[in-house]
């Protein structure tokens, strides 16, 4: 089963924060989109393991994902080991995405940094015939690997106009209620402060303003990209 876009996140809500509207946009255009959460976010101060998995499934339905998986790597214990790289390689070869997304490598959260390092390594290894022959899956080289912004203040290389689907992003984020709502059985965290979701929307509105649209999500390329001359003139 091939995918057009495969987005990886360290925790079950990372992709929604940084790229949820872009995934919803691709899905609305008939593209096959998937998400892989590396951990179950089991060390978060709020929510339960079962509850977070249910919230991730609800958000997947809102976004129109073709697939959502969880690798169940240890929260706060993501390592770029041979075992974890091969597990990610297997997913890349199975789903054969054209585009891979992962959190930006300059982020205050160490798990987001490790996620980028792991997926960058796996994306390169997935194309090598001598890596993981026991997986029984043909090598695959994605066309592009880009970073999305969770907490990073990096300057985007690309902006995607997501104004037409922004309400879908709002609803996908709202599905992660254990993280973004301060309930009777939760403790105060930066994520459930009233300004956190407003801050995400403010950033996306600012990126949209830069491009002359209402909302945009930003992506960073780790390497220069070729463009057709007709785009520049």
> What CATH number does residue 166 fall under?
3.40.50.10320
Provide mean pLDDT across the span 176-184. 90
Residues 6+ apart with CB under 8 A from 64: 23, 24, 27, 28, 33, 168
Task: Tell me the residue range of the domain where 59 lies.
Answer: 5-222
pLDDT range class, residue 225, cuts 50, 70, 90: confident
Whether 178 maps to a domain, the answer reads yes
Q: Mean per-residue pLDDT for 188-202?
A: 95
Is position 177 within any domain?
Answer: yes
CA angle in degrees (0–180, nearest 5) for 121-127-131:
75
pLDDT of 233 strictly over 80: no
Confidence at 1, pLDDT banded by 50, 70, 90? confident
Residue 50 covered by a domain:
yes
Does residue 128 form part of some domain? yes
Q: How confident is the model at residue 229 (pLDDT cuts 50, 70, 90)?
A: confident
Q: Across residues 162-170, what is the average pLDDT?
A: 98
Q: Is residue 25 part of a domain?
A: yes
Reported as a pLDDT band with limits 50, 70 and 90, residue 227 is: confident
Cβ–Cβ < 8 Å for 113, 107: yes
Domain count, the chain: 1
208 in a domain, yes or no? yes
Instruction: Examine residue 233 and state whether it is found in any structural domain, yes or no.
Output: no
Tell me if 138 is assigned to some domain: yes
Average pLDDT, the chain: 96
Q: What is the pTM of this model?
A: 0.96
């Amino acid at each position: 089963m091939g995918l057009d876009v495969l987005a990886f996140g360290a925790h079950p809500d990372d992709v929604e924060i940084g790229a949820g509207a872009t995934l919803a946009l691709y899905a609305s255009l008939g593209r096959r989109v998937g998400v892989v959460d590396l951990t179950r976010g089991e060390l978060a101060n709020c929510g339960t393991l079962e509850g977070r998995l249910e919230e991730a499934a609800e958000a997947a339905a809102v976004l129109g994902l073709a697939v959502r998986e969880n690798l169940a790597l240890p929260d706060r214990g993501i390592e770029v080991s041979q075992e974890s790289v091969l597990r990610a390689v297997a997913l890349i070869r199975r789903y054969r995405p054209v585009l891979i997304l992962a959190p930006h490598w300059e982020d205050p959260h160490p798990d987001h940094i490790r996620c980028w390092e792991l997926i960058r390594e796996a994306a390169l290894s997935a194309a090598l015939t001598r890596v993981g022959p026991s997986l029984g899956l043909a090598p695959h080289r994605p066309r592009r690997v880009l970073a999305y912004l969770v907490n990073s203040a990096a300057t985007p290389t690309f902006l995607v106009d997501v104004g037409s689907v922004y309400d879908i992003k709002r609803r996908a984020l709202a599905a992660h209620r254990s993280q973004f709502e301060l309930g009777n059985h939760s403790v105060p965290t930066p994520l459930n402060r009233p300004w956190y979701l407003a801050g995400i929307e403010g950033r996306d509105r600012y990126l949209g303003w830069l491009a002359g649209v209402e909302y945009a999500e930003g992506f960073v390329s780790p390497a220069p990209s070729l463009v057709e001359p007709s785009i520049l003139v």
